[in-house]
Amino acid sequence: MMMSEYYGWIFLIVSMVISMSCFISLLIFSRFSMKRIERRMVQEGLALPRWDGWGGYRVFYYAFAIVWHYKAERMPLINAEATRRLATKTDWYLALWTVVSGGGFLLCLIIFGIFIDK
């Protein structure tokens, strides 16, 4: 299948906006929300998850834990209860932005993969 050139340009512009939104949300959420939550965890004497280096996938785990209230059994790599308890309303909005823009970015990649000229 091939998209017309007009729809291709629209898709390019929309996907660039979504991609930039995703990357900006990742930076803001990790810099402000995650850093503050992890600092408070250290103050309480809780162990920090350091399985992925300086941020990486852990950003999405924190965002999912804040937005969807996953139980600890479903998120064994982070302390989901402490993450939700220490999160503020602003953290919830930033986590929601991260999850939605990350999903939009993934959807753009899938659509691009389907309609790419081969």
pLDDT tens profile 30-89: 999 999 999 999 999 988 877 766 657 888 889 999 998 766 567 778 888 888 999 999
- Look up the pTM and report it: 0.84
Position 108 confidence tier, pLDDT thresholds 50, 70, 90: very high
From the CA atom positions of the chain, what is the Rg in Å? 17
Torsion (CA) 105, 109, 112, 118 in degrees, nearest 10: 160
Residues 68, 74: Cα–Cα separation, whole Å? 11
Angle at the Cα of 102 from the Cα atoms of 97 and 107, rounded to 5 degrees: 130
Higher pLDDT, residue 90 or 82: 90
Give the contacts of 84 (CB within 8 A, at least 6 positions apart).
65, 66, 69
